[in-house]
Structure 1
Amino acid sequence: MPAASEPAPQAEPAPQPAPEILAAFEKAKGFMPTDEGLALYAAATRAARLGLPLLEVGTYCGRSTILLADAARRAGVTALTVDHHRGSEEQQPGWDYHDPETVDPETGLMDTLPAFRRTLHRAGLEEHVVALVGRSPQIAALWSSPLGLVFIDGGHTDEHAGADYAGWAPHVAEGGLLVIHDVFPDPADEFTGQAPYRVYLRALESGDFAEIAATSSLRVLQRTSAPAAAHR
């Protein structure tokens, strides 16, 4: 008689944040929906196994930072988040994503840093995050260490999204993850998602990254080649 077929291996369930972490994420000011947040958390948990820091470009008020910080905390690594905290183009007065509560009444400029700090404090995650306050290209130019994950969620123009990719993607370690938010292939989404989409295509065309997951507008790519020589 033929041998009985072996049962198919079960897929490993996606890691989930604790209820209080998910609640803090959903309460925080920001734009990422829950399904994409859970996908980001799963990617961060996977990347954290490399024992390297997890880095986010585009902090805003810390909504997604909560998830990266909790994944980093569980793995004993650090979450890094980069932002000048003056808001990206679509968050300025007169645009759909502007929130008047983020404006500093003294300067008249957006300042999301206080809201970000309150977000982390409420979630009990301050000690697991290093906030890098400044412009992404300037900070990236000074960076020389490998990263387990780079999450690109900053400005949505070709100039800014392209600079975030050029500055930070080379630092993703082999086997590490590049996560890109707001990837919209439809040309009708020119302002909100076409620049991230072009960054996504650029990463795939480089031959250095392969897509491993997609949830709504969130794309997860894994580095398949050795990183820059400086990291070897």
Structure 2
Amino acid sequence: MSADSFDAAFAHAADIPGWLTPDQARLLWDSARGAGAAPRILEIGSYQGRSTVVLASAVTGDGRVIAVDPFVDDWKYGSPQTRDKFEEHLRRAGVEHRVRLIADHSTAVRPLWTDPLDLLFIDGKHDVVTVRDDLRWTAYVRPGGRVLVHDCFSSVGVTLGVLPLLGPGAPLRYLSRTGSLAVFEAGTPTAADRARLLREMPWWARNIAIKVLLRLRLRGVARAFGHDSPYDPY
């Protein structure tokens, strides 16, 4: 089923572990609702399903969320039980029938993909090579469709991965961000779009500095930068 409101959807997602803030979840919800009557949404990186539940709750009609995640055994982001938890969270929210799971690496799935997409959400592996490859999924997003990138401007790998969008022939226009969740639109960027992206670089540098301070256990100094949390900015 689709939820009638964001609040109803997030009530199911709020207790699912993950790194998506309520404001970012609202952006996902609004983007999914604005993606058409029966949208095809592709999510790269699902973890335990926090964002998946929000997206799947928002789609209407015969809309579907295609969740791509290999569920690797990783010390921080995965375990042999992560897929089981993901599927249980979808069932608990009543959205499992709206989600098609592809348990594989996005970089392996993309070369075989052919279907058009109305919305793309990227929150997969954060190294530069993978991010750049994941952005190649933009080729399947309809003109004017949104591409949302999580941890943009808070991760070295993700930010370096999106910087080529400043160059000629880039397929995405940068619009805005909610925290580190960046909003792009499929289309040819203007000079103003590129300038808007460049203006985020000081905020990115600030976030990297905060990460260093947190690892040095200098929370007091991080607080001077406006970050009063033991967790990384995202």
Is TM (by shorter chain) over 0.5?
Answer: yes
| 1:169 alignment partner, one of 135, 138, 141 | 138
**Separation in 1 of the partners of 2:110 and 2:88?**
26
Runs of 4+ in 1 over 2 A off after TM superposition: 16-20, 198-208
- SS of corresponding position for 1:155: coil
- List alignment gaps of at least 5 residues for structure 2: 189-234
In structure 1, what is the Cα distance between the partners aligned to 2:36 and 2:89? 22
- SS of the residue corresponding to residue 67 of structure 2 reads strand
Shift of 1:213: 2.9
Is the 1:81–1:129 Cα contact (8 Å) retained in structure 2? Answer: yes
The CA distance in 2 between the partners of 1:52 and 1:23, in whole Å, is 22
Aligned partners of 1:140, 1:75: CA distance in 2, in Å?
26
Q: Could you tell me which of 155, 168, 173 is aligned with 1:210? A: 173
Supply the AA of the counterpart residue of 1:125: V
In 2: Cα distance, 1:156 partner to 1:139 partner:
17
2:44 corresponds in structure 1 to 57
Instruction: Give the SS at the match of 2:159.
Output: helix
Question: 1:123 pairs with 78, 85, 93, which one?
Answer: 93
Counterpart position of 2:65: 79
Question: Highest relative contact order (Cα 8 Å, sep 6+), 1 or 2?
Answer: 1
Residue aligning to 1:141: 111
Query: What percentage of aligned pairs have identical amino acids?
Result: 28
Residue of structure 2 aligned with 1:22, choices 10, 28, 31: 10
In the superposition, relative to structure 1, how do residues 84 and 26 fare at CA in structure 2: closer, same or farther (>3 Å)?
same
Displacement after TM superposition at 1:52 (Å)? 3.6
Query: Separation in 1 of the partners of 2:130 and 2:187?
Result: 25
How far apart, CA to CA, are the structure 2 residues paired with 1:197 and 1:27?
28
Using the size of structure 1 for normalisation, the TM-score is: 0.73
Counterpart residue identity of residue 14, structure 2: E
Matching residue's letter, 1:202: P
Task: Measure the CA separation in 2 of the matches of 1:158 and 1:24.
Answer: 33
Which runs of 5 or more residues in structure 1 are unaligned?
A: 1-15, 105-110, 226-232
1:31 maps onto 2:19 in alignment: yes
Residues in 2 aligned to 1:27 and 1:52: alpha-carbon distance in whole angstroms: 26
| Paired residues of 2:164 and 2:170 also in contact (CA < 8 A) | no
Root-mean-square deviation over aligned CA pairs: 2.1
1:103 paired to 2:79: yes
Please give the alpha-carbon distance, in whole angstroms, between the structure 1 residues aligned to 2:95 and 2:123.
20
The amino acid across from 2:52 in the alignment is T
Distance in 2 (alpha carbons) for counterparts of 1:81 and 1:53 = 11
Distance 1:43 1:199 in 2: 22
Alpha carbons of structure 1 residues 42 and 213: separation in structure 2 relative to 1, 3 Å = farther
Given the alignment of the two structures, is residue 156 of structure 1 paired with residue 146 of structure 2, yes or no?
A: no
Paired residue type of 1:48: G
Return closer, same or farther for 1:152/1:70 CA change in 2, 3 Å cut-off: same
Counterparts of 2:99 and 2:166, CA distance in 1? 29
CA distance in 1, matches of 2:36, 2:65: 10
